[in-house]
């Protein structure tokens, strides 16, 4: 006898599958850390040529970044360039080092650990659309760097002052990305647009962690 599944059964199966997929996504169990290469300190255009080429990109190729490009990009953005004092390529107000970078790629989201030069898995699955938000075309970029300031790292009491410093610090990290791309074969665009609510929920951010800016990064369309 042929059993016809009714609508209720179908809906239960669909929601179970959805739940299994969703829990898989947030557990990120299948992702492995990515060990970054040491930065190539000899690459790129002279700094004045890079300034002359800096521009915000509007269209990205979906070609994935090489490991060296990804490694150099993150070092330039906010890597540790003075190991003896644990200081960064980007300055920060009162040396709070408040800006963390979440790396959104097709396979999932990673956290940039500059001390160990490693990307640590945070969430599996392609989450670039929540960074792109209404500007969906930017989700085609193979990498989207999300700059999150943890304002609890500022010692002053006033929240407005913390947010002011956080915005400035994130702006400097973003400009490091802009200039690195201008000096290499990569392109980028600094962006304030993003789906804050979904980002907070997917990344399980603490109250003190404030997404400030993002930079899609990739290669130009040929």
Ligand X SMILES: Cc1cc2nc3c(=O)[nH]c(=O)nc-3n(C[C@H](O)[C@H](O)[C@H](O)COP(=O)(O)O)c2cc1C
Rule CB under 6 A: which residues touch ligand X? Answer: 55-56, 135, 189-193
Q: How far is the CB of 49 from ligand X (least distance, A)?
A: 16
Q: How far is the CB of 201 from ligand X (least distance, A)?
A: 20
Q: How far is the CB of 1 from ligand X (least distance, A)?
A: 59
Q: How far is the CB of 127 from ligand X (least distance, A)?
A: 18
Residue among 170 and 202 whose Cβ is closer to ligand X: 170
Q: How far is the CB of 42 from ligand X (least distance, A)?
A: 27
Q: How far is the CB of 91 from ligand X (least distance, A)?
A: 18
Residue among 112 and 138 whose Cβ is closer to ligand X: 138
Per-residue 3-state assignment (H helix, E strand, C coil) for the chain: CCCCCCHHHHHHHHHHHHHHHHHHHHHCCCCCCEECCCCCCCCCCCHHHHHHHCCCCCCECCCCCCHHHHHHHHHHHHCEEECCCCEECCCCHHHCCCEEEEEEECCEEEEEECCCCEEEEEEECCCHHHHHCCCHHHHHCCEEEEEEEEHHHCCCCCHHHHHHHHHHHHHHHHHHHHHHHHCCCCEECCECCCCHHHHHHHHCCCCCEEEEEEEEEECECC
Task: Report the candidate in 82, 104, 110 with the shortest Cα–Cα distance to residue 95.
Answer: 82
Query: Residue 188: which H helix or E strand, with range?
Result: strand 187-188
- Distances in whole angstroms, Cα of residue 74 to Cα of each of 16, 37, 54: 39, 10, 18
């Amino acid at each position: 006898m042929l059993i016809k599944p009714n609508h209720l059964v179908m809906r239960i199966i669909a929601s179970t599958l959805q739940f299994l997929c969703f829990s898989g996504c947030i557990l990120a169990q299948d992702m492995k850390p990515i060990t970054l290469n040491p930065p190539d300190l000899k690459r790129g255009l002279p700094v004045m040529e890079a300034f002359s080429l800096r521009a915000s990109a509007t269209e990205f190729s979906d070609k994935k970044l090489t490991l060296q490009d990804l490694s150099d990009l993150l070092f330039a953005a906010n890597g540790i360039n003075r190991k003896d004092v644990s200081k960064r390529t980007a300055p920060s107000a009162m040396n709070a080092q408040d800006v963390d970078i979440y790396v959104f790629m097709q396979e999932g989201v990673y956290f940039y650990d500059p001390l160990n030069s490693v990307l640590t898995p945070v969430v599996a699955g392609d989450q670039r659309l929540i960074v792109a938000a209404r500007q969906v075309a930017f989700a085609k970029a193979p990498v989207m760097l999300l700059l999150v300031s943890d304002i609890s790292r500022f010692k002053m009491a006033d929240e407005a002052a913390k947010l002011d410093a956080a915005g400035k610090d994130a702006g400097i990290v973003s400009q490091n990305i802009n200039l690195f791309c201008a000096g290499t074969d990569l392109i980028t665009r600094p962006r304030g647009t993003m789906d804050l609510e979904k980002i907070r929920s997917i990344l399980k951010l603490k109250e003190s962690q404030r997404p400030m800016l993002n930079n899609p990064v990739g290669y130009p369309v040929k």
